A = this chain, B = another copy of it.
Amino acid sequence: PSKPTETERCIESLLAVFQRYAGREGDNCTLSKREFLAFMNTELAAFTKNQKDPGVMDRMMKKLDLNSDGQLDFQEFLNLIGGIAVACHNTLLVNTPHP
């Protein structure tokens, strides 16, 4: 088969990262609160280190956990990635000079 595209590599990468953290304890198809925190503090440390309020992570987890089962499934996890990406995207749009 041909070389995967950039988009395919990202999809595979996000799946692999999710499975790496989800596999640490309990159900290996979902992120527990502890697995979510480990993911955030390792993979998105640039984002979390600027959060002075320790309640931010609690509120993020609650907001992302759409079915309120105390776990994040893969779809809920992607909403996190989407939220972070949209935040970056908006920052880039604001900071990009328009000719």
Chain B residue contacts of A12, Cβ below 8 A: 88
Q: Indicate how many identical chains form the complex.
A: 2
Report the count of interface residues on A (CB-CB < 8 A). Answer: 36
Q: By CB atoms of chain B within 10 A, which of A44, A82, A84 has the most? A: A82
Determine, out of A1-9, A54-62, A64-72, the stretch whose residues face the partner at the interface: A1-9
Chain B residues in 8 Å Cβ range of A88:
11-12, 15
Binding site secondary structure of chain A: helix
CB < 8 Å neighbour of A74 from B1, B44, B78, B86:
B86
| Residue of A11, A12, A46 with most partner-chain B CB within 10 A | A11
Q: Is B8 a contact partner of A10 (Cβ separation < 8 A)? A: no
Which 8 pairs between the two chains have the least Cβ-Cβ distance?
A: A7-B43, A78-B82, A10-B10, A11-B85, A5-B43, A10-B13, A74-B89, A10-B14
Query: Which residues of A are in contact with B by a Cβ distance under 8 Å?
Result: 1, 4-18, 29, 39, 42-46, 74-75, 78-79, 81-82, 84-86, 88-89, 92-93
